[in-house]
A and B are shown apart, each in its own frame.
Chain A
């Protein structure tokens, strides 16, 4: 047994990107940082991922855009965003002062658009890297078609890789048959990390009016309800790639985060939980620290991928 560590290190490395702790605010749930800055110290978080950004502004889908479901929620925002130009002019100056790394979540409707965004963003400072969203279920232009096949994932990511030398993380969709193959394709195309999962496509119906609750009919499911799926997929992806895996999906408490780390995630993202408790990320950081102390782990890295599987029950069914 190793000596008891009073002050275990929370620092993690996502390839070239160093984070002071493994807790990241997830895209689309944290606005452009500003929205939560009056409530919590942003500088305490490991990193922030901004709302999905496209070259041109997008209006998003018609309301209602939200529906609550058991232990989760459906959203059909439709990737509403201010567009690259306004992002650079009006949002980035604030983010530069946030005192934590900022990852910009990007999407496009063509491979060229993705590459163009990557190129334009790599020329500005104050951005720690990109998270490439090839997985938004709510709009055709959200790139979900790219996420479905290893071939298309490879195509779009290798093009982005050639367009930028920045840190590139690829955000994967759970709406696929074999997550391992997709994650591998991203790695082979030159991604520095993969993050998963994005939301699952779902439906909610109002029985009184017999109409869909959402203006867009279907929406993306997030929140505690999706944790088992995210966890399983992170575990599967971490088995096959060598690049870091970032776990997302239903993380509300430190225990949820620990499960993801044990499953093989190097860092995790907190999404829906921030709506319920703006301090969720901070509490998770605290909880991880306490767990490491209590269980004599010198750092987070020694916990990552430490899942123990008994030989006779180890095969997925």
Chain B
């Protein structure tokens, strides 16, 4: 298979502004990447020319502006990407000093983004904190496809509705509210401090929706802190609904070369199944040790009896940057 094109460009910063206490938006002029970008995919930004901080930083697309051939009224019509970021450490602090007009090294688009779940009439987008950012781009795409649905768009032929559930610590820790409103979506909001909407968690909103409305034909798309995603996975499992999650992992290369961004998933491949049989046959422990490293085998050995009766779901590591960052929630081993 031919590798997907990835561009490495010096993008001009079109706009950079603070949108909350520690939230910023950065719009980059880069038609090469904007043309190819899909919601849920990401870019690696080189935040400094010095060797400290050394590595690039991954950021999801908050908004995608593909290059417009006809009307070019706004600057972003030339093809731009917007990211929304939260300041958490050295790299993101450094980013706050970037100025409009400066150029920034951008590598992308990277990874596998959200994909439409066939035959589902409702898309529920559920996000927490900065994790709401990539859902904005996804909502925009779903709305666009919805608009085209009379012409039988293959991606969302049956999509009738988009429901947005978002949450955060407080009202200023939830990006994208205005963007959702502009799309005609009325997001349900939960804040932990009760400063906006329902006091509680976004997952509470989800449970309420599913219990009261059923939503048997929904598909879920989620991004946010790990405990939230794990809870979303649990809930959607209970209700037997397909669910995609965008997972963050530590990345160095972003292109699949370093294997640094490992995500632990259930192994459903034939090879996994065979290894599983092997492990069963050989009484597991020794075999597991040389395949999975001593530490891991050790923790399994503690519960050896159940292993022999029923081996644990076989797992493998996949690359968060290549096979992800969007995964099927039921594939992830949440620990």
Contact = CB atoms under 8 A, between A and B. Distances in A.
Interface string B1-41: 00111111000000000000000000000000000000000
Interface stretch (A3-11, A70-78, A195-203, A237-245): A70-78
B251 A66 contact: yes
B257 A31 contact: yes
A73 B53 CA distance: 10
For the complex, would chain A's binding face be called helix, strand, loop or mixed by DSSP majority? loop
A272 B259 CA distance: 13
Interface string A24-65: 000011110011111100000000000100001111111111
Contacts of B7: 39
Nearest to A83: B271
A139 B46 CA distance: 31
A66 B256 contact: no
B256 A35 contact: yes
Interface string B90-125: 000000000000000101000000000000000000
Contacts of B255: 31, 35-36, 39, 278
Interface stretch (B77-85, B173-181, B287-295): B287-295
Given A38-B3, A75-B252, A80-B262, A30 B54 contact: no
A278 B52 contact: no
B51 A223 contact: yes
B54 A224 contact: yes
Contacts of A252: 51
B250 interface: yes
Contacts of A72: 54
Nearest to B295: A62
Given A60-B317, A63-B250, A274 B257 contact: yes
B144 to A, nearest CB: 27
B316 interface: yes
Interface string B42-64: 00001000011111100000000
Q: Interface range on chain A: under 10, 10 to 19, 20 to 34, or 35 or more?
A: 35 or more
A29 B253 contact: yes
B256 A80 contact: no
A279 interface: yes
A315 to B, nearest CB: 31
Given A62-B264, A73-B252, A278-B8, A36 B55 contact: no
A276 interface: yes
A68 interface: yes
B296 interface: yes
For the complex, would chain B's binding face be called helix, strand, loop or mixed by DSSP majority? loop
A104 to B, nearest CB: 16
Interface in A271-312: 272, 274-279
Contact of A70 (B52, B252, B257, B263): B52
B155 interface: no
Interface in B218-251: 249-251
Interface in B133-183: none
A66 B3 CA distance: 25
Interface in A198-226: 216, 223-224
Given A37-B3, A65-B260, A73-B252, A276 B317 contact: no
A30 B257 contact: yes
B87 interface: no
Interface in A121-147: 139-141
Contacts of B6: 38-39
A78 B262 CA distance: 11
B53 to A, nearest CB: 6
Interface in B278-309: 290-296
Contact of B52 (A64, A71, A139): A71
B273 interface: no
A218 B323 CA distance: 26
A57 B317 CA distance: 12
B258 interface: yes
A61 B293 contact: yes
A269 to B, nearest CB: 14
Contact of A29 (B53, B55, B258): B258
A83 to B, nearest CB: 10
B332 to A, nearest CB: 12
Given A60-B262, A277-B105, A78 B293 contact: yes
Contacts of B53: 68
A68 B55 CA distance: 7
A62 B298 CA distance: 13
Contact of A59 (B8, B51, B55, B316): B316
A63 B257 contact: no
Nearest to A271: B258
A224 B55 CA distance: 11
Contacts of A80: 259, 262, 317
Nearest to B53: A68
A140 B293 CA distance: 9
The 4 closest A-B pairs by CB, nearest first: A31-B257, A38-B3, A35-B257, A66-B260
23 contacts: A31-B256, A36-B255, A37-B3, A39-B107, A59-B291, A59-B315, A60-B317, A63-B264, A65-B250, A66-B250, A66-B252, A67-B250, A73-B54, A73-B252, A77-B258, A77-B262, A80-B317, A140-B294, A224-B54, A272-B252, A275-B253, A275-B258, A276-B55
Interface of A: 28-31, 34-39, 51, 56-68, 70-73, 75, 77-78, 80, 109, 139-141, 216, 223-224, 252, 272, 274-279
